[in-house]
Structure 1
Amino acid sequence: MNLETVFSIVSALALFSWIALFIFYPSQIVYKVLFSGTLLLLSLTYLYFIILGMGAESEGGFGTLAEVKALLSSDEALLAGWIHYLAFDLFVGMWIAHDSWKLDINRWVLLPCLLLTFMLGPVGLLTYFILRGIKSHNIIQSPH
């Protein structure tokens, strides 16, 4: 399977997972399906492509921005990086949705947080932290 096809499949899988998360977030089944299905599949796919990508000749590393750029210079490593974003943003979105349900935050108020997390990761998380602080009347927060 070529890399463009894999990119399209994992991106579509992530999109449908986000839609399911928004629609079914009060149901515990959605977390089981996403955690044991989507995240497992994305993680295995990531592992496969990161092994391929890191196996390529690269002078990359994590010490400088130039080294990280070199590390992701192969298409396989770049695809693995994309899958990394998809998996971790979805995991964060799952936490946000579950936490908001426990705090009784309206789903339509939650929607911008989930959309921002899907598109801009940390910006969505920050938006949810602000919303959560307003709802709980507490600036000091815990993940529980």
Structure 2
Amino acid sequence: MTLEAIFGMASLLAIFSWIALFIFYPSKWIYQTLFSGVLIVLGIMYLFYLFTGIGSLADFNFDSLEQVRTVFSSDEALLAGWIHYLAFDLFVGMWISKDSWEKNISRWVLLPCLLFTFMMGPIGLMLYFIVRAIKTKKLNQSPFH
């Protein structure tokens, strides 16, 4: 299978996961499915393409921007980096969804937070923190109640 096909499949898996998360976020099974299924599949894909793309652990160096560029210079390593983004942004989206449900934040207020998290990770998370602060009337945020 080509790297382009794997890229497409991983991206579609992520998109469908985000749609399911938005629709079913009040249900426990969606988190079980995403944690025990999708995130594990993405994790295995990540490991495979990371190690086939890097070559040796000696090349795995993040000491400078140039070193990071070198680590991701192969298409396999670049694909691993993309899968890394997909998995971690989905995990953050799952936390946002669960937290918003517990705090009784409207699904429609949640939607832009999830869209931005899917497209631009940290911006969506920061947007959710703003929404969460307004809803809870607390500027100081914590994942604990």
Interval containing the TM-score (normalised by the shorter chain): over 0.9
TM-score, normalised by the number of residues in structure 2 = 0.96
Moved over 4 A (4+): 56-60
Q: Which residue of 2 aligns with 1:53?
A: 53
Distance (Å, rounded) in 2 between the aligned partners of 1:36 and 1:121: 22
C-alpha contact (below 8 Å) 1:49/1:76 kept by paired residues: yes
Identical-pair percentage: 60
Superposition RMSD in Å: 1.4
Q: Which residue of 1 aligns with 2:73?
A: 73
Where does 1:26-105 land on structure 2 (aligned, <5 Å)? 26-55=26-55, 61-105=61-105
C-alpha contact (below 8 Å) 1:117/1:125 kept by paired residues: yes
- Note the residue ranges of structure 1 that are not aligned, 5 or more in a row: none
Question: In structure 2, do the counterparts of structure 1 residues 36 and 57 end up closer, same or farther at CA, with 3 Å as the change threshold?
Answer: closer
Distance (Å, rounded) in 1 between the aligned partners of 2:19 and 2:88: 16
- What code does the residue aligned with 1:112 have? P
* Offset from partner CA, 1:34-90 (integer Å, 9 cap, x none): 111100000000000001011169856201111101110000000000000000000
Distance (Å, rounded) in 1 between the aligned partners of 2:85 and 2:57: 23
Question: SS at 1:121's partner residue?
Answer: helix
Aligned length: 144
TM-score, normalised by the number of residues in structure 1 = 0.97
- Note the residue ranges of structure 2 that are not aligned, 5 or more in a row: none
Please report how far the alpha carbon of residue 141 of structure 1 lies from its aligned counterpart in structure 2 after TM superposition: 1.3
